[in-house]
Structures are given as C-alpha cells and as structure tokens.
Amino acid sequence: MFRFSGGNMDLQKMWAFIYKCVSNDGANNVSIDYWRDLPGPGETSDTDFYSELAWCVYNGGMSERVIRSKWPYLKAAYHEFDPDAVASDPNVLQNALMVINHKGKAKAVIASAGKIINDRPIGERLASLSENEVLSYLETYPFIGSVTKYHLARNCGMDVVKPDVHLVRLTDYLGYESPDALVSEIVGFTGLRKGLIDFVLWRFLSWYGPAAYETISLFR
C-alpha cells in the first residue's frame, strides 16, 4: 500500500469529505451528537460505566454489528448492567451464555460487577485520577487490555483515541507517528473532540474497507 507523509496530504479536505459522508447517514447524525455532547468521566454513573465496560469486553475481537444486534439481550441478561443485581444472581452466567457463548467474556463482565461495587462511585474515582492513572486503573478490570482501555476511557468521556486496527492502518498510510497525532491535528483545525473524530474515521473506514483508501488517495 502506498504510504504518504503527513505533509503531502490535504488533511482538511480529506476530513471534510469523510465527515460529510458519515454525517449524511441519519443514524450517524445521532452518533455524532452523542460524541459531541458526551459528559466527562466524572459524570459517569456506576451503571453507565458497567455498560460501557461490557460493551468494550464483548466488542474485543468480535464484530461490532453482531454485538449491537445482541445488545438488548445482553442488557437483559446482565440486569440492565446493575452491578448489585448481577453480583447477587447465580444464573447470570447461564443467561449471558445463551446470548453469546463466550465464557471468558461473560465471566469477565460478571467479575467486574464485584470490582465496581468495591470501587464505587466510579465517576468520583475517575475524576480523582490523572489520564495515565485512569488508563492504568481500567486495565485492572478483566479483559481490558492495552487497546481496550482506550476504548473504555473514550466511551467514559475522556479525550483519548482508541488505537484500533482501522486508525493504526490509516495513521501508517498517511505517515503520522500515532493515531493520537493524526486525530490531534484534525482537532487543531476543527475544534472537535477526539472521540468524535475517532468515531467518524472508524465509521468511514469500517464501512468502506479498502475502497476507503482509494478515496483518501484523491486528497494528495
């Protein structure tokens, strides 16, 4: 694959095209508003944190579309992500496995309920920590690793970028040092949140796959 250097790309025009392409879909207008208005981590409730944690655990290595289609059933299995209800239900593992048969992920989500109970209120805990401390804290949860911690932190309102395979590939293609460096440059001329930019780029790349790069190459 041809590799640009950052200076050879009209990044502003590329971003304007990608943003327009993604925002023209009605459902994604809602998503863009969500990322624009997402509260900071200090306002994260225990239930919201648990829900986002479960979302990140189940999405790791699995199709986002599949997880989204099964999400209402997972919410029911995990008692709408009430950690107290999960911790006290002896049937929660069985119910979760009936939705997605992945024992490792289900056990991780169930174990996380107990940790949330011990550490709550989670919003106050996150607000009291620096960015690096939050990222380290998130890794203390099972199935939250070196990439997933950024996913969870971003979903809880931190201004970070998830270095997933799509953004890493785009970063290398455009010649930037890191996904954060690429997104930060876009922040510089748009003033948008990193999480919103991250979402828009991910959505465009995940929709169009290799064809996305044919379009991006036009902005040399």
Query: What are the structure tokens assigned to 203, written together?
Result: 């959505």
For residue 58, count CB atoms less than 10 angstroms from its CB and return exposed for 0-12, middle for 13-18, buried for 19 or more: buried
On whether both 49 and 151 belong to a single domain, the answer is: yes
Which range has the worst mean pLDDT, 13-17, 25-29, 64-68, 199-203?
25-29
On whether both 76 and 47 belong to a single domain, the answer is: yes
Work out the pLDDT band at 8, boundaries 50, 70, 90: low
On whether both 167 and 126 belong to a single domain, the answer is: no
3-state secondary structure of 60: coil
On whether both 64 and 143 belong to a single domain, the answer is: yes
113 in a domain, yes or no?
yes
On whether both 193 and 213 belong to a single domain, the answer is: yes
25 pLDDT more than 80:
no
Q: Residue 184 belongs to what domain range?
A: 6-38+161-219
Confidence (pTM): 0.90
DSSP 177: S
Give the model's pLDDT for residue 42.
Answer: 94
136 in a domain, yes or no?
yes
- Read off the pLDDT of each residue in 162-168 and give the average, rounded to a whole number: 94
1 in a domain, yes or no?
no
Work out the pLDDT band at 1, boundaries 50, 70, 90: very low
Per-residue pLDDT tens over the stretch 65-108: 999 999 999 999 999 999 999 999 999 999 999 999 999 999 99
